[in-house]
Amino acid sequence: MSYKSILVETKNRVGVITINRPKAMNALNGQVMSEMVAALQAFDADDAIGAMVLTGNERAFAAGADIKEMSGKSASDMFKGSFVDAWDDIRKIKKPIIAAVSGWALGGGSELAMLCDMIVASETAKFGQPEINLGIIPGAGGTQRLTRAVGKAIAMEMVLNDRKLSAEEALAYGLVNRVVPAERYLDEAISLAQAIAERAPVAAQIGKEAVNQAFETSLTEGVYVERRLFNFLFATEDQSEGMAAFIEKRKANWQGR
C-alpha cells in the first residue's frame, strides 16, 4: 500500500512509521491518522514484525491535531466524524509500539505518544496539552492518560495552563522511558523495539494487554485478568520451548504460537 503523509519501512523485525508533514509540524489530519492506523494494522498482522516504532522528525513528533482542518467543524461534525476513532483503533493494536519523540509533542501529538506503550525521547522533546489556547480540552485521552502518568497536580497545570514538560521533566514524572541525545533517539527506539521483537511474540503481546489492564480495572479484577492470561500462555508452544531452553541451557527458538 502506498501512503502520502507517512513513511513506512521495516528494520529487521521492527516496523517503523514516520509521520511526514514537516511543513505543518506533523499536524495530525484525517489522512495521517487513517494512514497510520492502516500501517499499524498491517504490521500487527505480519508475523515477520514483532514491534513498531512511531516517530516524526527532529523538530516535531506531532504538533497536535490539524487545527486548520478542525477549525470549521461543528459539535455534530465532530460527533459524527471518525477522526477521534483513529486513536481508539491504535489502542487496539496488539504488538508493542514505541514512540520516538523529538521536538514538539503537543495536543493530539502528546496523546498519540501516550497511546504508545513506551516513549523514547530526544533531549529536545517537549510535551504539552495546549488545547486551552484554542478554547478546547484534550480529546484523545490527554486528560486521562496524562493524569495517570504524571499525577493530578502536573496534569492540571498542563491542561488548564499550557505548562510544557521538557524531556528531563517528562522522565522525572514517569511519562517517558528514557531521554537520549537528539542524534540517537530514533536508533535507540528502534533497538529497544528490536530487542522486544526478538522475545516470545505471544507473551509480549499478552504482557502489553495485561499491563494496560492495570489502567482499566480494580486491583482484584486486574490480578484475575493477569492470572487468566498467565494460565493461557501455558497453552503456547513458546512456553514449552522457553522452559525447555532454560533447562537445556540454550537460547529459545520462538515460534510465536
- 248 as an active site residue: the answer is no
List binders of ligand HXC among 60-99 (CB under 6 A). Answer: 63-68, 84
Q: Closest separation between CB of residue 10 and ligand HXC, Å?
A: 28
Q: Closest separation between CB of residue 43 and ligand HXC, Å?
A: 23
| Cell output for 62 | 506531532
- 58 as an active site residue: the answer is no
Taking the least distance from each CB to ligand HXC, the nearer of 60 and 119 is 60
104 is a site residue for ligand HXC (CB under 6 A):
yes
List binders of ligand HXC among 8-37 (CB under 6 A). Answer: 24-25, 27
- 193 as an active site residue: the answer is no
- 131 as an active site residue: the answer is yes
Contact window for ligand HXC (CB under 6 A) among 6-14, 132-140, 175-183, 227-235 = 132-140
CB-count burial class (<10 Å; 0-12, 13-18, 19+) for 252: middle
Options 30, 139, 222, 256; binder of ligand HXC; rule CB under 6 A:
139
Measure the CA–CA gap between 235 and 175, rounded to whole angstroms.
Answer: 35
Q: How far, in Å, are 15, 43, 83 from residue 36 at the CA level?
A: 12, 11, 12
Q: Smallest Cα–Cα separation from 199: which of 160, 247, 255?
A: 255
Options 140, 190, 203, 204; binder of ligand HXC; rule CB under 6 A:
140
Q: Closest separation between CB of residue 127 and ligand HXC, Å?
A: 12
Taking the least distance from each CB to ligand HXC, the nearer of 49 and 146 is 146
132 is a site residue for ligand HXC (CB under 6 A):
no
Measure the CA–CA gap between 82 and 30, rounded to whole angstroms.
Answer: 9
What's the per-residue H, E or C state across 126-183? EEECHHHHHCCCCCCCHHHHHHHHHCHHHHHHHHHHCCCEEHHHHHHCCCCCEEECHH
Q: Among positive and negative, which fits the CA dihedral 95, 255, 14, 42?
A: negative
Q: Which of 109, 131, 141, 167 is catalytic?
A: 131
Type and span of the H or E element at 197: helix 185-197
Q: Closest separation between CB of residue 213 and ligand HXC, Å?
A: 24
Residues known to be catalytic: 65, 108, 111, 131
Residues that bind ligand HXC (CB under 6 A): 24-25, 27, 63-68, 84, 104, 106-108, 130-131, 133-134, 139-140
